[in-house]
Structure 1
Amino acid sequence: MPSHSPLRYLTLFLLLAALAALSGFGTHRVAQQLGIADLQTTGLHRLDLYTASLEREIGKYAFLPGTLGLEPDVVELLRQPQENKRQPAVNAYLEQLNERAGTLSIYVIDAGGRVRASSNWQRDDSFVGEDLSFRPYFRDALNNGSGRIFGIGTTRGEPGYYLSSRLADRGQTLGVAVIKVSLEQLEKSWSTGEAPAMVSDENGVVILGSVADWKFTTLRPLDEATRSAFDQTQQYNRRALKPLGLKEIRELDHGARLVRISGDSPEMVSVYPVTGRFLAQSRPLPGTPWTLTVFSHLEQVDDIAQSRATVAGVVAVLLFMFGLMLVERRRHLKDRLAAQQALQQAHDELERKVDERTADLSAANHLLQDEIAERIRAERTLRAAQDELVQAGKLAVIGQLSTGIAHELNQPLAALRTLSGNSVRFLERGDLTTTRTNLERIAQLVDRMGQITGQLRNFARKSSGQLQPVALCHAIDNALALLEPRLRQANAEIVRHCPLPEPRALCDANRLEQVLINLIGNALDAMAGQAAPQIEIDCSGASGSARLAVRDHGPGLDDAAQAHLFEPFFTTKPAGDGLGLGLTISAGIIRDFGGTLTGSNHPAGGAVFTLEMPLFDESTADD
């Protein structure tokens, strides 16, 4: 069929070319989604850091305006604003307070909106005598008791955060105290971060930003009515308020967005890109109408996705070439096999006749040997079945723990990525001290991850089955360490009673820990939905028997559950949540130790499961 070969090769080529394209496209999408998910985790951490620094900076001055109402001279000046006898003393007091607090200015306004005293009273551009009744922070303080607004001063054109508080005496409103705070130092600290950030107010105007060119731009176009209102309040002192050029590409989960920032204006020198595609994550700031937004650049994610897509495409092309080689080789071998087949058929016919003569003699011997081998295999299978059932139960527990372990490892991994990126930048700057500190923190995180995976590896290995002395308190600690993520997620309290000296039971440590993990996990399931679940674990040893009890504070065991508690495939959990083999396997393990596992209801409420095992006798240890 030589006429069909070119069409066959062409079809194979087109199929594999399509496979290469789909592999590259699919790999690019998956890698990009994973990269964006990683950026979201890092961005949430940055949001926490920026939010904490801003709240800390503002919180230092939040109490200050209200304290001015405790100063008698201030109260008397506002009570009789037309008399200026107390004005010099109040001016001097505000000037001294301003210097010590490190604020931009402090001033008091009477009920009519006229500034009566100010910390800058000695300057040519002093606020004293100005009418500020039109300012929003003055009106908010009179109406609501306090005001918070970011604006630009009408006198010096200096931006700052205004905190105002109403001053009253015996129920009578006397005026308003105003503190103006500079956030310039906070912005400088943000400019050295790993990603750009900004704070926008309720009008969509950027009032703080780690990029200087972003400040006093708008996230959305402003209509003429809004601009006219700004001109009346002079909140932004007639700034142009040009659009930032931010365009949303699409919404993601958890409030994240993919956006693009255009580079129409000249880009300033920065340690990070400030134009292009970003992952934007926003959060409202408590106590203010502001919104904090952190931008994570997607350039690195796109590069990684592109490189992985390229590798996937190359692999697909190699598979295509390897497939062609296989097809060509099979064609050459086909002719050789045809000739060998005729010779092999003659040889097989001769062998068949010889086999028929010897088959009758060896058939009986084979049957006897097969029966003996089958019995041996059955005995080995029966012995291995119990060990495999125990190991399967252990792997089921590992599967339940995998989500918590993955969460425990995800945070150190995110921190490793952040610290390694910082170390590269600090090395470029020559800051070896900070780089060394980052490397030491990376080593600590790696040790922590090794400890987590080491505990999981030790628990997953198959037990030897040999009985040996096992410290009960140590086994409890190992089980709690593996269940730590789940216990923390459930907000569970562990009440642990271990006497001294620590009792030791004659058992297998790894399998005992498996039983404890199953019992503690069942206790958590029984208390699902409780705000503060509590588990009590008590161990003791007396009269040649080691006793260990696990009690929950759930609803307890009903009559049906107590009647079928240790039967296989019996469970009180919802369908699909377990097979009902946990207690059956646990009872079998304790029985192999020569002990018992029982379950009952505690007199004070909840269920209690009790393990009794042979106590290790120190006097006969040598024997």
Structure 2
Amino acid sequence: MHRPPGFPAGRPCAIDGSRSAGGSGLAEDAESIEPKRRRFRLAAVLPLAGALAIAAVVAFVAYRAVFELSLSGTRANASHRLDLYAASFEREIGKYASYPYVMALDGSILALLANPTDSLLRYRADSYLEALNDRIGTLDVFLLDKTGRVIASSNWNKWDSFVGRDLSYRPYYQNAGVGRVTRFYGIGTTNRQPGYFLATAISRGNDTLGIGVVKVSLEQLERSWASAESPAILSDEHGVVVLSSVPAWKYGTLVALDEKARREIAEAQQYNDRPLAPIGLSTLRQLDDGTRIVRLPGAAGSDSSFSTEGLFLAESRAMPETPWTLTVFTDLSEMDDLARLWAALAGLGSLLCLGLLAVYRQRRRHLREILAARAALQRAHDHLESQVADRTAALSSANERLREEVEERERAERTLRDAQSGLVQASKLASLGQLSAGIAHELNQPLAALVTLSGNAVRFLERGEFDTVRGNLERVRPLVERMGNLTGELKSFARKSSGEPQRVGLRKLIDDVLFLLNHRLTRGGVAVTIDIDGGDIELWCDANRFEQVLLNLIGNAVDAMEGQDDQRIHLSARLEGDFARIDIRDSGPGLPPERLAHMFEPFFTTKAPGVGLGLGLTISAGIIRDFGGELVASNAEGGGAVFSMTIPIGAGEAT
């Protein structure tokens, strides 16, 4: 450690004079770090939190200002739209409001009310009501007696005829009066068809004779509402939606019904056991008695031309002569989006202004710090320059040593590869040396025959026996071809391998090796059997190097069986996925179990001293590994040794 001049060794130095030896100053520094960190975090968080709070307040004020400004114009448009919807409803209902009075003008109706048991009068009244219903286009027109029972109806001759039914439970019967039309909406108890009922009392003087009722369909009005730009609903006194531009809301409720309301609806059989579930409307803000801001749910399966989910302005109005309420909804989504946009812009603008102010202040502080730090930086720069120079020199020296080591390693690897290649070639030449006696024998026999046949041909030619000469010459040709094949195989086997793999047939490789070993096999009486799936298998390997492996393994098998009466070698091959498994089994004594683990180690051999170097199996195993396969040794169950190889059958694919 570098120590400033003037400080003696073995004594700690007091940096500022306030801390002395023994480590107490370090403990005090550690204790003061944590409070400083907390103050630093607090100083960083508080301005950010304050800026976000200011931006949130500005955004809220901007949102309310823009929203309220847009809402005033929207309310005027919504009120006008409500007038249009109310007028269309009153116009549709007003067309039929006078027809209950018209019924009292017909003589057949009055006559039937005076004598309700007369069948002829009933027929005339039914026919009149049927004709009236067809003419005015209503759903049904029917007549009730004073007890509330239907005595004549426009559908008298249909399966769903009202004649004879007691409708005294219906509110339009209970509330009917002279000189006024009672209105009621409900679902028919006979044909389950919803409709709008208009009823009035038919009287003579002050005596009520019966009730005339007209049932009107509102489907046309609903269709016109569905094509309008805003949703609209008509709800009854209980809050049940009886008319809606959104089909999914019909027979829903604006609020949950209490037990009293459900009991009244059930007694009047108004909605025929419909579930009457709330549609999910929620009021967010009440503006006045008839206006409020609400949120509507999405209507699943709605085929309306407008969206029914989001923020809406609800304008409501009580309908005249009924306890019903008409409500028109105006979509506030665009207005809300606009207000949110302005709020976001205002918030971001305030954050930008605060950020610029903070940047300005920070910049001024940084300028002061930069001026103060520039001198210290220059001093540190000078010190670092000297350190960089020293370390650069050290790194250059280390880099030079590393480069020399890399070059030395590359030279060693090239030498090792050359030695391995030479060792493989030497092993091949050693194998040829072992075969030399057999090769000489194989060549001497045809050479002796050539000498005899050529000498006889000369003598027979002198005698003029040309046929005999021709026969001798024809016998010479196979002998020469045999010698050529043998020397060709020796030349091919002895040449140095290129090392490039290619497709090659296994059967040809085995035949070539057996041809080279023919003399040894014949001399020892070795029987060779070959069993290849499909007759042949194509391998992906270097043929020259694989022949050397076969020559080593088959030659070792012949050596292992030497001197035995029964000498057999069995070569088998079969496909296993993308590999070929090749087994070479002999009938020799097998491999000692304690030596199986060392069979492929360099210079390990089971032969007599001086017979082999113990490199044949090591080289063979290395060649098979280069092919992407494996060579293993084991003992067969029936006796003898088995050497098994796995060789790829294709370059990434099976053939």
TM-score norm. by structure 2 comes to: 0.47
Instruction: Select the structure of larger CA radius of gyration.
Output: 2
TM-score norm. by structure 1 comes to: 0.49
Higher relative contact order (CA 8 A, sep 6+): 1
